[in-house]
Amino acid sequence: MLTARELRDQIAAGALDPRVVLHELLQRISRINPAVGAYVAVDPERITAQLEERLRHGPRGPLFGVPITIKDNLCVRGEETACGSRILSGFRPPYHATVVERLLQAGAIVIPRANMDEFAFGSSTETSAFGPTRNPWDVTRVPGGSSGGSAAAVAAGAAVAALGTDTGGSIRQPAAFCGVVGLKPTYGRVSRYGLIAFASSLDQAGPITQDVTDCALLLSVIAGQDPRDSTSAPMPVPDYLAAVSQTARGLRVGLPKLPAEGLDGDVRAAMDEATRVLERLGLTTVPVELPHIHQAIETYYIIATAEASSNLARYDGVRYGWRASEFAAGGGSVEPSSAQRGVLQMYLHTRAQGFGPEALRRILLGTYVLSRGYYDAYYLQGMKVRTLMKRDFDAALSQCDVLLLPTAPTPAFRLGEKLDNPLQMYLSDIYTISANLAGVPAISLPCGFSSAGLPIGMQLIAAPFQEATLLRAARAYEQATDWHRRHPAISSVEQAR
């Protein structure tokens, strides 16, 4: 599979016909998706019509003719966008998310809907109402989550590149499990308009790609202030493609002391070797401290669930999405005298049936920590610890240019292995959550394989709005290794249908 950059250049040079590119990709999706489940649904006719419109009227921007896969929580006008949930089934937004709009303005062909954990609540893409996604390296294992569909599609060659979202590691962890590259930008670098919210102070959209340069290309398209998102930062967007071609020699790499509990031996060995590679490339390693990173899980699951509880209160079956069948139009009627009770029952039945178990768990937890008598004890304390963590990152990144951490404590685990143990599932994000709490940019890229042949990812973190530095360091490591050039055996994936 050619990278997005290679496709763009060959299409621009006339060496490739975008119609042929799209046809071959759609054929590949039809062969691979039954086994992997990377997409909830694909409509070849609508996607082909989109390309024909692009060929007739343009625009012919920096991604002209390049297909880009879109996660199911990013609104695409007129396309069902369900956020992996039953409660939003049938919802067709009347507008594009800003990131989708910018891809279209760049000439890309957008392909909805990559599978995901319901409302991004998960680390394995097993909580989707539309069934799980499987890891193309081993279809008995998870692809990570919540952007597992996007990562699995890129790894399997069923996507050229994709957009995911990251609230606590949902781009980086699946990128690590699937052996691809995933970037979470600084909070405010990319517009959240049209991103169906999980936790509004943590969510960020970003690219999942085959290599670091493609990450730079997509980020250069989707980044920048948006007047429709009050949290998007009025910051100039650097030339990220120019940044990846610059030397990383002389950059300082901070090595924090991290929670070692549950850290797999293969992951530890891969990280040690990655450190040696960076040193051989002329980067300097320095010890740094992140004193409050041990509280990341607890802090995150207070703040994120509180915000999720608030955001998901709007899904009640009244204006859009799914409604409990006994209250659907033409279904059970409500007597005028009991209208108020009937509306309440409709809310209760719709929400109880429309959300899956993990979504209900997080709504209940978030409602609890925001409730009277518990707000100060939980949510307010969580916000104070978040402030301390932000200060920790500021202090550490004043001593170095990037931090080096594992992306996940283990390689991909087996389907169903952690579904009945939420705490173990939450610990899958122990190394990624803190970057969201601090609002800093982070990237995951392949750095090895386990003894079982599963990809391992390393994570680099930089100061706010220093994505260019992050990409320089990541590209230098990538060019010195060949991990990103290794791909799963698709013939075995197709046979697993």
Would you say residue 48 has pLDDT above 90? yes
pLDDT for 326 equals 84
pLDDT for 190 equals 98
* Active-site residue identified among 71, 124, 147, 428: 71
More confident residue, 465 or 325: 465
Q: Terminal CA-to-CA distance of the chain, rounded, Å?
A: 21
Strands 402-406 and 455-462: antiparallel
- pLDDT tens readout for residues 342-396: 888 898 899 999 999 999 999 999 999 999 889 999 999 999 999 999 999 999 9
pLDDT for 344 equals 86
More confident residue, 58 or 62: 62
Looking up tokens 């320089």 gives 472
Angle between helix 148-155 and 18-36 (nearest 10): 120
pLDDT for 260 equals 74
Find the largest Cα–Cα distance for the chain: 78
Catalytic: 146? Answer: yes
More confident residue, 329 or 250: 250
pLDDT for 59 equals 87
| Mean pLDDT score, 60-83 | 97
Domains annotated for the chain, with CATH where assigned, are 4-292+387-495 (3.90.1300.10)
Q: What is the mean pLDDT of the chain?
A: 94
Instruction: Identify the weakest region by mean pLDDT among 215-224, 294-303, 320-329.
Output: 320-329
Would you say residue 65 has pLDDT above 60? yes
What's the CA gap between 145 and 480, in Å, rounded?
28
* Active-site residue identified among 124, 146, 147, 434: 146
Q: What is the CA radius of gyration of the chain?
A: 22
In 3D space, the residue among 370, 433, 363, 349 whose CA is nearest the CA of residue 171 turns out to be: 433
Identity of the amino acid at 88: L
pTM: 0.95
* Active-site residue identified among 85, 124, 150, 170: 170
pLDDT for 259 equals 76
pLDDT for 333 equals 42
Q: What Å distances lie between residue 275 and 21, 278, 368, CA to CA?
A: 38, 5, 43
